[in-house]
Amino acid sequence: MATITFKGTPIHTSGELPAVGSTCPDFKLTGADLADVGLSHFAGKKKILNIVPSLDTGICQMSARRFNEEAGKRPDTVIVNISADLPFAQKRFCDSEKLSHVVNLSTMRAPDFGTAFGVRIVDGPLAGLMSRAVLVLDRDNKVVHAEQVPEIAQEPDYDRALAALASA
């Protein structure tokens, strides 16, 4: 269980992120077309898993924009935004922002994702949503960077994530 904060108040997650050096667990999440999507859909690519509480919040939107900007420069990389938002809402946000270099996946049919990845918030006003976290995976799905952002209202450390991606 990790302790993070929401506007300065301590809250807790269901566990810990997958460790650097471990193989990322596979998952089955829902894509924009309502099809199941897992890590195998991105075989041979480096991946940034941008896990967020909701794309309807400012900080989550900023991270999606920033990673979209970076993804456009890296054809060997896929940026995956993961949230509990419905695929329709995810698509609406990305269409309105013209974010074309990210893949959005929803946990709508996979409530166990948050627990398996240690990011499900277990208490406080955001209980049931996911914490803000970033995992960077190499082409073989080995975790090369893991960041559990300590404050929900804080952006992730983009520079560290991108540096890990560059060396993966």
Active site residues: 60
Q: How is residue 68 written in tokens?
A: 């979209």
Structure-token match 């896990």, residue found: 51
Quick check: 18 and 146 in contact, CB under 8 A?
yes
CA distance 165 to 168: 5
β-bridge pairing 29-30 and 36-37: antiparallel
